[in-house]
Chains A and B, each alone.
Chain A
Amino acid sequence: MRQFEVPAYAAVSDTGFIFLGNSGETFNLNEIGKEIFDLIRLKMNTEEVFKEILDNYEVDRQTFERDFEDFINRLLSYGLIKEI
């Protein structure tokens, strides 16, 4: 089980636009990306995120875990989240 946090220098709009105040870089999240990002911001761990998404979307756990891993790795590589 892993847990992440969003750094203080990341400003996120309601529409999924992210501005990194330390580098000036900007990113756009799609709808489901924004939803997962918001769950991370709420300090949910990976199990809690899985439950939330699997309860609300028609997706099997294996598929979601794989996609989630890809997504998380991207967020980490861009400095949009940190593992705690």
Chain B
Amino acid sequence: MRIAVKYCGGCNPSYRREEIEEVLRKYFQVSYADSADLIVCISGCKKGCAAERARGEFLHFDEKIKEEEIVRKVKEKLLLK
């Protein structure tokens, strides 16, 4: 399953956003392409800029979250497809 990552601009993130991508790369095939089986939007804060222009099926992270939670949410979303 291919996952595409879309970041917000990163002006004042409340956590290290790259941690989400690093976890994703451990379990899935990740790119920055415009299309994939799932778009994962990574915002640095609750403002959620990464998800503002997202369309269709996507998953949005906007705070620090445990590795197993990230994997669980992605798998859950992929299974729904």
Partners in one complex: no
Q: A residues near B, CB below 8 A?
A: none
